[in-house]
Amino acid sequence: MEPDSGSPGGASLPASETGAESSLRRTEVIQSSSVQGAGWLSSPLWNPRSKARKAKLGGETSRDGVWLDDHSDFTSAYFSRRASVISDPQSEMTPRFLQSMGNLEIISHKNRCDSQVSYEHHDPLMMAPHHRTSVPLTPYLSAPEKTDCFSCLSVSPCPPICLCSNKLPIAPYIQPTVDLKSSSCGLGEGCPWMIGLLGGGLRWMGSVAELCHGALNHAGELLAAEGGALSLVRKVYSGGSDLEEVIALTATGCSQAHQELLQGVMELVLATGSPINLRDAQKDPRFKVDSKQCLKISTVLSVPIKNHRREVFGVVVMINKRKGCDSHSAFTTMDEKVLSSHMDVLGMVLENIQLYESSRQEAKRSQALIEMAQVLSREHFSFEVLLSKMAATIMPFTHAQYCTVFIPSDQTSVTKDQIIFSCVIHLECEELGSTCQIYRREHDIRDIDLSHACQTMMAMETLNMAKSTVESERSIICCPVRNERSENVIAVCQLMNKRTRDSEDLEPFNRYDERLLEDLAVYCGLALQYAQAVQITEVRRASIEVTEEILAYHLTAAQEDINALQEATIPSAESLNILDFYFSDFGLPEDATTQATIRMFLDLNLVQDFNIDYKSLCQWVLTVRRGYRSNVPYHNWSHALSTAQSMFAMLMATDQLQNIFSRLEILALMIATLNHDIDHRGVSNSYIERSQQPLSQLYGHSSLENHHYNLCIFILNNTGSQILSSLSVEDHRAVLHMIKRAILATNLNIYMQRRGEFFSLAEKSRVNWRSEKQRDLLRSMLMTASDLSAITKPWPDQKRIANLVAMEFFAQGDKEREEFKIKPIDIMDRENSTRLPYMQVEYIDEICFPLYKAISKLFDSCSPLMNACKKNRKNWLHLAEGTWGEKLEDNFSLHLETGISVEEDTKRGAEQMGKEQDT
């Protein structure tokens, strides 16, 4: 029974390994087929009575095929037996065509596999993908000693998946273009070369070149051709493709003209994807042939090698079909079909090999990338060591003997062709059996060839010397290292001397090596930028340390001032009037302000409870005072003292607050109130952000408050001012956290966000102050109440403070109008100075009074703050309405900075009130 092309016995059915090696014994072939063939035939696609098989095979089955499906045991044994029909190496498989070309040494499959290295230690597909071969066509190919073979790779219904492909490979079923019943192989039911190849012949293939050689030998035998050549498609950088010669023309006596003719034929086949059959090559008008030089080529047959997607994978050409001893006949249509069917099988196998090799290469490339990333992630004290380790990572993968990284100097000018390399990192790889040792060699730059590196820097693209006419330069490849931001070339990576596995011969670097080198270039670029960033960071860190040292020197109080405060007798709280909510520092001597601060810490027992060194406390207070700018009208040391005194008065007015807060919390509140506006510049956060000052870039939000806190920490850590040095690590961390929260709470935006929760809390009859969340909210509200306490001062002090605030705000408004060309907001617009009383009333109603009212509900002892706020609101309202005539003289002080008379101010206020009432 002879199965047809659609039956399991056709070329589309992968069978067991056949007699590809003539010296194989029949028993050896059967044992091999029992392993390989059984796995193929028992696959899901060949499951008996499978309904899906018809769709998989793309056609209906014959009755013979159905019978074979129902008798799978017979089918497996039958095809295993048919796969070993060739056992005599001196049979009719050696025609005159091949004998005339000369035979090579015959090596048995067993001997071949005995000399190979195991899969784990040697990759058969990682050798050069295509080695040009120029050996006469022979029925059997001998392999060099220790040749690689495909003993670990066999074709299966599920071929290896390429990791870099987005398409899954399909099962290798080929629909042959020739009926195997009348196959030209002359071997009855099927071509043994096809069956052996599909059934497991990949095990003895040493390389792609050897596989192609066997296919060309077999095709030449079938077509009785005098010679042939085979080329595979290679992708080029431009995105196109060209042909890379794998098997050169093997016919004797062929010249360069013959090569050019066949090259033109193969390129046309590649472009059209269709076979070409030249019955008289010298008369075909498509090819320019010198009849005198190409007399030895009369007939040409060339067909494409396609993959399963019918894409051209390569091109094979056969010349001069033998008719007799000295005559040639044209290739027939049947020859074309036979050659095409064989090339279809070869294309499918080559595609699987390529997919498998690509997946292995991608896996190794991924491994190299991971290793380089790990090297980059580690801390290195020298960028030269970093680059050396990354370069050493890819050398074993590319089999390069040398790897060099060229780093140009800062004076290098590529445009003027003046390239000077300041540093050269040179590595050498020495192979020691299955391992390799990489050394870093110290070389003088003058002893290293810089020409290729310079050429790469000028061209700014990868340079592969594979096609160089100079033999010694063909194994050199260079790649530029770019700066990701500027795209400038900042270095050059170079690989030299790619060695073959089994000899000392050098070979060109392929596309896989280029990709690895380009990956190295990317990581080298990151490493160089990282090294530069580290260097810049270290310089800036040193600069910051110098600046901090200068700041600490100028910020720290003079030693005589510290001694004077330390030796001074601190007045009582009563004499300083710091227990009174109506305290004012106006007219208070400067020395008395620092003494008042010391008294607060003493009366709150903070010095005793936290074992604060008294001299350190004096130096700290004086240093904080020096941290405030004296040229700022309002946010200065006077405001800091007033804020701290308000907090102190609330804490001392009743035991309730001191019972709620821990001693650590009270310490944090007092430190925060004194530092909450330190180094204030007299402008708001919005102005700092709009003018893009360094503070805004440093903190992003709440710039001033964050700056106040950081300067507070700087002073606390300054030598001689470390008042928290006796705290434990946990208490130190906790108090710093509370200080930061308290200072940030003075931002009115944060106050507006949180006050609703606090007002709701004040409405409750009982509050659980054991909750940290509730106490944090209370600390924040008390900070704001202390910060705004100027609105609760006696009326003369309140008017004076309001004038100072207006001066500061109007100065910022003038800057905004001049620098940003915008109209300032009302409270900062000098043109609205006459509306100051109205704005004060709105400020009290919207910001101040609700807060003091809530605090008074929770703590009755703080009600004087609310009452004073109400009185000042009434006074401001009288001024706004102009009904307080006897106090107009006092109003004059509010407008000294504006140059507006009191009468005009009163008139404008009345007009504005009338407009608002009409509205």
Q: How many residues does the chain have?
A: 919
Q: Which of 635, 707, 708, 895 is catalytic?
A: 635
What was the pLDDT predicted at 8? Answer: 35
Q: Where are the strands (E) in 142-253, listed by range?
A: 225-235, 241-247
Return the structure tokens found at 640.
């800091």
Counting as low any pLDDT under 70, the low residues of the chain are 1-190, 199-207, 236-240, 250-255, 287-295, 324-328, 411-418, 432-434, 443, 501-503, 883-919
Q: At what angle do helices 703-717 and 663-675 cross, to 10 degrees?
A: 110
Q: Is 635 a catalytic residue?
A: yes
> Could you say which DSSP state residue 248 is in?
-
Distance CA(532)–CA(550), nearest Å, equals 27
Q: Tens of pLDDT along 466-477? A: 877 777 777 899
Listed in sequence order, the residues at least 6 apart from 95 whose beta carbon sits closer than 8 Å to its beta carbon are 221, 224
pTM across the whole model: 0.58
Instruction: Give a three-class secondary structure readout of 439-489.
Output: EEECCCHHHCCCHHHHHHHHHCCCEEHHHCCCHHHCCEEEEEEECCCCCCE
Q: Tens of pLDDT along 843-894? A: 999 999 999 999 999 999 999 999 999 999 999 999 999 865 434 334 333 4
What was the pLDDT predicted at 565? Answer: 97
Position of tokens 């050696």? 94
Return the structure tokens found at 412.
């290098």
> Could you say which DSSP state residue 169 is in?
P
**Backbone torsions φ then ψ of 702, nearest 5 degrees:** 45, 50
Closest-CA residue to 709 (of 751, 744, 682): 744
Neighbours of 6 (CB within 10 A): 20
Question: Which residue stretches of 106-191 are H helix?
Answer: 109-114
What was the pLDDT predicted at 679? Answer: 96
B/e letters for 445-462, b = 16+ CB within 10 Å, e = fewer, are eeeeebebbbebbeeeeb
Distance CA(103)–CA(87), nearest Å, equals 18
What was the pLDDT predicted at 323? Answer: 75
What was the pLDDT predicted at 290? Answer: 59
What was the pLDDT predicted at 449? Answer: 84
Listed in sequence order, the residues at least 6 apart from 374 whose beta carbon sits closer than 8 Å to its beta carbon are none
